[in-house]
Amino acid sequence: MEKKVLFPRKKTRAVKVGDLVLGGGQPIRIQSMTKVPTRNVAATIRQIKRLTEAGCEIARVACPTEADVKALGKIKSKIAIPLVADIHFNYRFALMAIDEGVDKLRLNPGNIGGEEHVAAVVEKAKRHHIPIRIGVNAGSLEKDLLAKFGRTAEALVASASRHVAILEKLDFRDIVISLKATDVPAMIQAYRLASGQFDYPLHLGVTEAGTLVRGSVYNAIGIGTLLQEGIGDTIRVSLTADPVEEVKTAKMILEALGLRSGVRVISCPTCGRAEVDAAKLAQEVEARAMKLEGPLTIAVMGCVVNGPGEAQGSDFAITGGKKKGILYVNGKQERVVDEEKLVDELFREIRKRKPSHYRCLSAGERKR
C-alpha cells in the first residue's frame, strides 16, 4: 500500500553526486560507510556490493593513508553507486582522490592547511564537478568555538559557517553539510538552525550513536524528528554494527514516515493466546523479505484476535491457529497451512503473484 507523503520537504539547492542528485526536491538518499581498510580493495568492494544490495545509494570510504586513496579507482570501477572519499587534514589526498574518479569528497576546508591548499582542491573539484561535504562533528569542534558556545548546536553551526565561507569565497557552491553530535537534542537543534541559515542539502546523522538497538533508536529519533519537519536530503545511520544494518535502519526510518515505500512486515508482539511460535515466524519473514522490493505489506499475526483485521490491510498475511496458520492474499483467506510450512508457502505465494518484487531475480527468472 502506498502511503501519502505527510511531511513537505524544505527546498534546498540541487547538488549532483555521480548520477544522483542530493537536494532540489529529489528523494532522500540513503548512504553508509565501509568498515574495512579501504586499501583492502577486495573487501571494500565486497562490502559496498552488500550495501548496494541492501538498498544503500551512496558509499563512503575512509582515506587515512596514501594506499587507501590509491585504491579508490579500482573500487570505483567495480561498484554501481557513487563513491565518496572521506579525507582529513591532507589536501594532497583530496587532489589524488579526484584523479581516482571519486564522486564526492568529505572534507572540512578549514582543516587541510592554508588558503593555497584549499584553492587547489576547490579548483580541481570545480573542474571535475565534484561536490564537497562539510562534515562538522561535535567531537572535533574548534577550541575557540567550544570556549564561546560549549559543545552546543550553536557551536556546530558556527563551525559549519566557517567552512562554508571558505568555499563560498572561492565561488564554490556544490556543498553538502552535516552537523553531527552524539547528543540527539543538540543534533536536532543544529540541523534546525542550519536549515534556516543555508540552502545547501543537509546530510543527517547522529554520530557514534551506539550498538544496534540503542543506535537505531537514537538515529530514528534524531533523523526522524528532522525528516518530519521537512529537513534533510540524505541520511546516514551510524551504528557499531555491520553497515548493512545501517542501511536497513535508514530504510525503515524513511518507510515509517511514508517518505519511501518499502516492504513493511507487520507483526504482533505475541502473547499467551498464540499457539504457534509467532516470533520465529516473524523473524523468518523479515529476513526473507529483505530480498523483496516494495511497496508491499506482509502481516504475521499470532492468532485470530487481530489477525484477520491486519490481513485485511495487507497484501499477504499469515495468522496463527493451533500449530497451523491461515494464509491470506489481498485480505482474503487462501488456505490453512501447517506451522512448519507457513513461511515457505507465504513466499511461494508472493513469488507467484508478485514476481517483479524480487529484486534478486533476473528478468528471465521473474517470468518463470
| Residues in touch with ligand SF4 (CB under 6 A) | 268-271, 273-274, 278, 301-303, 305-307
CB of 305 to ligand SF4, least distance (A): 4
CB of 220 to ligand SF4, least distance (A): 23
CB of 251 to ligand SF4, least distance (A): 25
Alpha carbon distance 228, 235 (integer Å): 13
Alpha carbon distance 137, 145 (integer Å): 12
Cβ count within 10 A of residue 320: 25
Alpha carbon distance 75, 44 (integer Å): 7
For residues 186 and 282, which CB has a smaller minimum distance to ligand SF4 in the complex? 282
CB of 272 to ligand SF4, least distance (A): 7
Element (H, E) at 213: helix 212-227
The C-alpha cell that represents 41 in the structure block = 580493495
12 CB-contact burial (10 Å; exposed 0-12 / middle 13-18 / buried 19+): buried
Residue, CB closest to ligand SF4? 302
Q: Answer for the pair 290, 348: CB distance below 8 angstroms, yes or no.
A: no
For residues 85 and 301, which CB has a smaller minimum distance to ligand SF4 in the complex? 301
For residues 23 and 307, which CB has a smaller minimum distance to ligand SF4 in the complex? 307
CB of 310 to ligand SF4, least distance (A): 8
For residues 58 and 268, which CB has a smaller minimum distance to ligand SF4 in the complex? 268
For residues 72 and 285, which CB has a smaller minimum distance to ligand SF4 in the complex? 285
Alpha carbon distance 351, 22 (integer Å): 34
For residues 208 and 275, which CB has a smaller minimum distance to ligand SF4 in the complex? 275
Element (H, E) at 76: helix 72-77
Alpha carbon distance 182, 364 (integer Å): 47
CB of 75 to ligand SF4, least distance (A): 46
CA geometry: angle at 208 spanning 207 and 212, to 5°? 115
CB of 347 to ligand SF4, least distance (A): 21
Q: How many CA atoms lie within 13 A of 277 on its CB side?
A: 9
For residues 55 and 302, which CB has a smaller minimum distance to ligand SF4 in the complex? 302
